[in-house]
Amino acid sequence: MTWRRRFVAVALAGLLLPAGCTPAKETPVKPVAFAWSEKTLPGVVGRLVLRDAAVCDGRWFVVGALQDQAGGTVPAAWSSADGTTWATVRIAAKTYYGKQNILSSVACRGGVMAALGAKFGGAHGYPRTSSWRQTPDGVLHEVTAPFELFGGPQAVNVVRLDAGPAGWLISGNRMSGAAAWVSRDAAVFRIVERAPGLASGAAGETWAFDGTAAADGWLMVGGVLPKGRIDRDPTGWRSADGVSWELVPAVGASEAYEELQRVVVDTVPIAVGVRGTTFGAWRLDAGRWQPAGAFGAVRPGGMSGARALAVVGGRLFCVTADGVSHTLWVSDDGGVRWRPGVLPVPVPAGLDRTVVVAGGEGRLLALTDDAANGRIYLAETAK
Range of the domain at 265: 34-303
**Does residue 72 belong to any structural domain of this protein?**
yes
**Does residue 139 belong to any structural domain of this protein?**
yes
Q: 318 falls in which pLDDT band (50, 70, 90)?
A: very high
The dihedral built from the CA positions of residue 46, 305, 129 and 117, taken in this order, carries a sign that is positive
**Does residue 375 belong to any structural domain of this protein?**
no
* Separation between Cα atoms, residue 30 and residue 226, nearest integer Å: 40
Q: How many domains does the chain have?
A: 1
* Separation between Cα atoms, residue 367 and residue 344, nearest integer Å: 9
pLDDT digits (tens, 9 = 90+) for 142-182: 999 999 999 999 999 999 999 999 999 999 999 999 999 99
The dihedral built from the CA positions of residue 151, 157, 163 and 168, taken in this order, carries a sign that is negative
Note the pLDDT of residue 382: 75
pLDDT digits (tens, 9 = 90+) for 341-351: 999 999 999 99
**Does residue 77 belong to any structural domain of this protein?**
yes
Name the CA radius of gyration of the chain, rounded. 21
Amino acid at 245: W
> Greater confidence, 30 or 133?
133
**Does residue 61 belong to any structural domain of this protein?**
yes
Note the pLDDT of residue 9: 36
**Does residue 148 belong to any structural domain of this protein?**
yes
pLDDT digits (tens, 9 = 90+) for 101-145: 999 999 999 999 999 999 987 766 778 999 999 999 999 999 999
Mean pLDDT of 17-24: 38
The domain that holds 156 is classified in CATH as 2.120.10
Amino acid at 117: G
> Greater confidence, 183 or 22?
183
Q: 298 falls in which pLDDT band (50, 70, 90)?
A: very high
Note the pLDDT of residue 253: 77
Note the pLDDT of residue 295: 97
**Does residue 324 belong to any structural domain of this protein?**
no
Q: Are 56 and 108 in contact (CB under 8 A)?
A: yes
As a dihedral over the C-alpha atoms of residue 61, residue 337, residue 280, residue 116, rounded to 10 degrees, the angle is 0
The dihedral built from the CA positions of residue 280, 54, 174 and 127, taken in this order, carries a sign that is positive
* Separation between Cα atoms, residue 263 and residue 235, nearest integer Å: 12
**Does residue 14 belong to any structural domain of this protein?**
no
* Separation between Cα atoms, residue 147 and residue 129, nearest integer Å: 9
> Greater confidence, 164 or 301?
164
Amino acid at 65: A
Note the pLDDT of residue 21: 38
